[in-house]
Structure formats: structure tokens, C-alpha cells
Amino acid sequence: MHPCIGNRRRVRMSSLPGNQSSVNASVFASAEPLIETREFRIGGMDCAECARHVNRALVDVEGVESVQVLLTAEKAIVQLNPAVTAVDMLRQAVARAGYTLSSPDAEPDVHAEHDTAGFGQFSRRVASLLALVFGGVLLIVIAGEWLGLFEQLTQRVPFWLGAILVIISGWPILRNVGRAALNRQITAHTLMTVGMLAALVVGEWTTAAVVVFFMRMGDYAENFTAQSSRRAVKDLMAMAPQVARVERDGHVEELAIGQVVPGDTVIVRPGEKIPIDGIVLAGTATVDQAAITGESMPVEIAIGDQVFAATLARLGSLRIQTERTGADTTFGRVVRMVEEAEAHRAQVQRIADKVSSYYLPVVIAIALLTFAISRDSLATAAVLLVACSCSFALATPIALLASVGAGAKQGLLIKGGKYLESLARADVLLIDKTGTLTWGKPELTDVIALNGGSDMDLLRVAASVERDSEHPLAEAVREAARARGLALGVPEMFVAVPGMGVRAQVDGVQIAVGNSRLIRAAENLPLAAELEQAGKTLLFVARNDELMGILAATDTMRAEVPRALARVRKLGISQIELLTGDNQTTAATLAARLGISYRSQLLPEDKIAVVKEYQAAGHTVVMVGDGVNDAPALAQADIGMAMGAAGTDIALESAHIAIMRNDWTLVPHALHIAQRTMGVVRMNLGFTVVYNLVGLSLAAFGFLPPIAAAAAQSLPDLGILANSARLLRAKPSNAEEF
């Protein structure tokens, strides 16, 4: 997995004179304890109930502040006080719950693993095989008996022999239920075990055997689902190469990824996977970036381009300067976010878990009431057998995990179920302009010097000021200056004014480049109004507060945006608004082309205020931005979606959904996934409630014999798994609509 996260709170004490020892003591007494966040591997978890047991076991350990147990990733994220909590305390607590705990960075002890787990695993397999064969044969016999083919055959088997076979076949389940009972815990198998024992007490060993058979079948189904989810994560992790070819001091050697450091030069040959994130120093290649962006079409990479770990250089070789390695790469962070997505649980999932915790006591109460009224032990056993609490636990997480996994394959990084739930009920879409609706690569179209100045001097001065700016318009100015061969000056006293522009000193003169809010002399300029009416974005240049001239640029809108917005409206979002720092005329021109409303000349804090305004009115807000200057608004929105987030640290951190490639069709596709997922969840929960109500009623009134009840309890799980599996086959909207 990944090394431990070093999230810590520290208190540092400086030396104090001896006469201040009492003060020192009081400071130490009030000092906040050091808290570490650690990750551990958890072995033996097969179902959601297992994850809850591990969670309870760890939470009860002294010094543990919080716990997140991730079933799919087979790990626990624990916040603890290392001065109080030792790893052995955690290991013992997990062992008492029936599972194993180890450090993610520890080397596995193959021999110890074989010695301690080999026989147990072998015995479980033997018991499982016996249960399946025994149960299968028994079902055939019982069916034949109902058809009159095997009269009195089961009666010829001694009860004691049947009971022994039942106990052996069901021993792994009996052991886990007993261990949970000693820890004052009720599991999903508790009811079935009680029903099985009740069947033995009333002499129905055949019914008890059928119960064991279906319990083991249910275990296999849920374990298969869990293993499928884990396999998806492990397959994802396996895509990253573990060895890199590094050039140091003129020599090329193969090193483990852990030995590669930022600044190293990595050599990638044709047909090899890129092992690190970095910048191309030399060479060209056709690179398949599907592992990061989900895009099947390869891209051409040349000197100066950024490349990502786990992508494939199909044609050509590259020399790459390393920027990030291992878990710090974009791919490593994607893997971690997919692993931890289940930690962000939807509200509907928390409700289902709460219902599940109350459901078991309610069923036991119904069984006792049935026996008290009817004195029918078979009906009482049937009530216990037909109740299926697993389906409540499975109804939500399986569907959410399926959608998160399917989205990741298509270039949508969804950070958890709660964001899918919020996205499904979203009714407002707010959109940034530069880098979101447009490509974020504007081109300079006009250089207009005023007051008798020179166009070339105007461009040279503006490009010198913008020399260190990261804004897309600054790059357009620099590119235009490079194309004309202009020699740039070195800016001094550079100051960026958010949402307005920049100021700097060039050749000893104060220069400002920005919009009309920064340069007041540009207000109400007729020439500027004409350029804005043409949909161009303007930069005004001033020397010592005197207007030098105007630079005009255009940024091409993404071709798929109009169709994508039409799809968004069909999915139920009618309020769509453009939020931009551009002037009103430019914003109005673009908004009119798209048929949406707009707000112009906004600062970053103004965008946050707009999001809060809609939220205060009771709306669920989706904000789509490029993740750079929009990061605060993305974080404030109910759902922040970052466009083209691959390789952008702030976008991956601030957004709730990262769109890994520059494709607007993924915005409506994300909405489609969310709405479809919550529809499946509601269907799962509705089916579970109705099925259990009908089953409990039939059993309590004696219409459902124990054997039929035992068979019936496994059907909801299979139905939920099959229904949720449909989400794995979701196709991108552009394949269906565009």
C-alpha cells in the first residue's frame, strides 16, 4: 500500500531559566498531545460487517482518536497518540476481533504467515467444501423427497451424524459468531446461527444443514464482490512500474522506485511505462495516458511537456527530469483517493447502517413474540432464518464502490459516496471561464499603442512585467513577444493583484498590466468597448499610471461545451451561470452563445460569495473550474469539479470530483453516474425492506417452513449484487449522446 502518513501536531518547548520551572511545568501540562496518522494492513475482512468489527476494536484502544477502516483497500487509517498507544495494543485488539493487523511498509514474513495461517486456511477450505457438497446433496435429496422420489431417505440418517456434519460445515461461521458474542457484538450471521441452532434443538438437522449451505453461499458471494473491488485497486496499483532506468554521473542504472529522487534523470525507451512524474528534457514519444486521464487516444509528447507515472511510451524514447515519485505522483495520489473513497460515506449509507444495527434486535423480538403467541418452534426458527441483515449493509456501499471504480476508468476521480449523493440532487451549476469553458490558452490578437508609443515597445514592456506570472493571459503575452524576437527586461518589485493584474518595475519605471479595475485610466475607452464587443479579453498597460496601450486576446471555447450543457439541462439542472473575472461585454458575449446567465469582473472571493448565496437559498451547488484560481470556490461548493486535473496538485486536493482530461462531456456523465447510482441504491433499499417485511410476516404466521426460510434469506444479497453490478457497465455520455 502506501507508507504511513505523517500528519502530526507537535508542541516544541524552548529552554527556560530555572526560576521558570513552574511555568514550564504548567505549559507541559496544558500542551496538546502529539497525534499521528498511521495506516495499517488489515487481514481477514470479507464483508462490511467485518470492517465495522475492526473499527469497534480499534476505537476502544486507549489513545486512539479516530479510525477509518477501508474494506476494499484492506487497511485502517488510525489517528493515535503514540505516547499512549503502541502498535502491539492495536494488533491485539484486532486479533481479539478475529482479524490481523500489520504495518503497510513491513516486509511480509512468508514462513510465519505459512505457519500461523496455513492450517487455518486449509481447515476453512475443507469446511467450506464439505458445506457446499453436503448442502448441495441435501438440497437434491429434499427436493426429491418433496417430489416423492426419496421417501424417508433423510430419516434414515442418524440425527447425531447429521448434527456433527452441520457443526463441521458451519464451524468457521460458528467460531466468528462466538468470538463476536464474547466481544458483545452482533454480526450479520448471528441470526442465522441462532436459527441453525434452533433447528437442531427441534430435531430439524436437515434444515440446519440447508442454513449452513446458504450462509456459506452468501459468504462466497460477498467475498467475491469484496475481492473484485480489491482486485480493481490492485490492478490499478500494478500499472505503475517499480523500477526506473536512472542516469547519474554519466552512468545509467536500474533502480527501485524508492531510490529515485526529484532531480534524477530517468530514461524511458519505446514500449516502456514511465515510472515517475516529470518534465521531458529530450526526445519525443507517443504516450498512452489512459491510466491517468482515461483517454484512449495517445498524445504526442516533446521537450518541455509534463509526463506522468504509469503512462506508456508507445513510440519514441524520452529523457525525463524527475519531479515526483511513488505515492507522491499523480497516479499514486489517484490510487490513494480511489482506496479511500469508501471513507467518504453517503448519508443514505449511514442511515442504512443505523437501520441494520437496530434490525437484528427487532427480529429477535419478533421471533420471541411469535413463540410466545403460537408456541410453534418451527415458525420461530423460520423467523430467525428468513431475516437478512446483510442486505441492509450491502445495499449502499456496493453500488457506490461500483460507480467510483467505473468512473475512475473513464477519467472521473470521485472522492467518495457522499459526493455522488450530493451530485445526484444538484440543481445549480456554476462555471468558471478561462481554462474551463475555454481551453485556457489565449492568443494575442491586437497590440495597440496609444499616445504616440511603439507597438513593439508596448509588447516588450508588458511581457517583461508578465515574465514570472502564471496566468494564461501572461503566457499569451510572452509567446507573442518571443514570436517577435523581443528581448525582455527583468521585473523588480513584482506584485500580483488577484482578479485585477500585476505591477512591477521595469527599467526603473513602474509598469502595471491588468484590467480596468487596476488601471482606472482605461475606463470608458471607446476603442476598448469595440474590442470587448468582439468577445476579446483586454489587458491595459500603464507607465507611471499613464495609459500606454491595449493588448487584446481571444481564448477558444471548447467545441463540446454547448452539447454538454444541453445534456446537463436534460439531467435536471436548469440554473447554469458563468462566473468570470472578465469584463461584462466579453462575459455577456460568451454567455449569450451558450444561453446561460453570467456574473463578470469577479474576484476569487466574489465567486465564493456566489456559491454561498445559492447554498443559503437551499440549492445544491456544483462548481466547475480549472482548479487553480478557483480552488476556494471548488472547496466551498457542495460538489467541486476540477477540469483537466491531471498533474495539478491543487485541483486534486480542492475538488470533490477531478476530471482527469479536458473533456466537457464528462461533466454530464458525472451527473448521469450520480443519478443512476442513487437510483440503484434506492432500488436496493426498497427491495430489501419489502423482501424482509414479506419474509418475516410469512414466517411468523407459519406459511414459510424453516428450509424455505433458509433458502430465501440469501436471495436479497444476490439481487443487490446483481443490481449494483449494472453500474460497472456505465458508458460515458459522449458515447450515447454526442
pLDDT in tens, 198-230: 778 777 777 777 777 766 766 665 566 555 555
Contact by Cβ (8 Å): 491, 465: yes
- In the predicted model, is pLDDT for residue 355 greater than 60? yes
Q: Report the range of poorest mean pLDDT among 19-33, 178-192, 475-489, 529-543.
A: 19-33
Provide the pLDDT for residue 199: 74
Strand intervals (E) in 395-508: 412-414, 428-432, 443-449, 492-497, 501-506
| pLDDT at position 356 | 67
Residues 600-612: what's their mean pLDDT?
86
More confident residue, 253 or 632: 253
Mean pLDDT of the chain: 77
- CA 392 to chain centroid, in Å, comes to 22
Catalytic residue among 264, 432, 582, 663: 432
pLDDT tens per residue across span 233-246: 555 566 678 888 99
> CA angle at residue 628 from 627 to 631, to 5 degrees?
60
Report pLDDT for 523: 76
Instruction: Give me the mean pLDDT over the 583-588 stretch.
Output: 83
At residue 51, the pLDDT reads: 77
What is residue 150's predicted lDDT score, i.e. its pLDDT?
A: 47
Residue 35 near residue 65 (C-beta atoms within 8 A): yes
- Residue 515: predicted pLDDT: 87
**How do residues 658-671 score in pLDDT, each as one tens digit?**
888 888 999 999 99
Arithmetic mean of pLDDT, 17-35: 46
The predicted pLDDT at position 574 comes to 87
Q: How far apart are CA 581 and CA 583, in angstroms?
A: 7
Cβ contacts of 262 within 8 Å, gap of 6 or more:
322, 323, 324, 325
| Of 724, 730, 560, the residue nearest 221 (C-alpha) | 724
Pick the more confident residue, 303 or 182.
303
Q: 112-126, pLDDT tens digit by residue? A: 333 334 434 444 554
The predicted structure's pLDDT at residue 648 = 59
Closest CA to 636 of 601, 671, 612: 612
Q: Are 401 and 342 in contact (CB under 8 A)?
A: yes
Average the pLDDT over 440-458 and give the result: 88
pLDDT at 187: 65
Is this prediction's pTM over 0.85?
no
Per-residue pLDDT at 14 exceeds 50: no
Task: Indicate if 432 belongs to the active site.
Answer: yes
Closest listed residue to residue 343, CA positions, set 727, 720, 5, 106: 5
User: Is residue 691 predicted with pLDDT exceeding 80?
Assistant: yes
Q: Work out the number of other CB atoms within 10 angstroms of the CB of residue 130.
A: 17
Q: With b meaning 16 or more CB within 10 Å and e meaning fewer, what string describes 81-94? A: eeeebeeebbbebb
CB 567 within 8 A of CB 587: no
Is residue 271 scored above 80 in pLDDT?
yes
60-to-29, 56, 67, 356 alpha-carbon distances in Å: 25, 6, 10, 21
Q: Which helix (H) or strand (E) holds 252?
A: strand 251-256
Helix (H), strand (E) at residue 738: none
Q: What residues have CB less than 8 Å from 609, skipping those under 6 apart?
A: none
Question: Alpha-carbon distance 537 to 644, whole Å?
Answer: 22
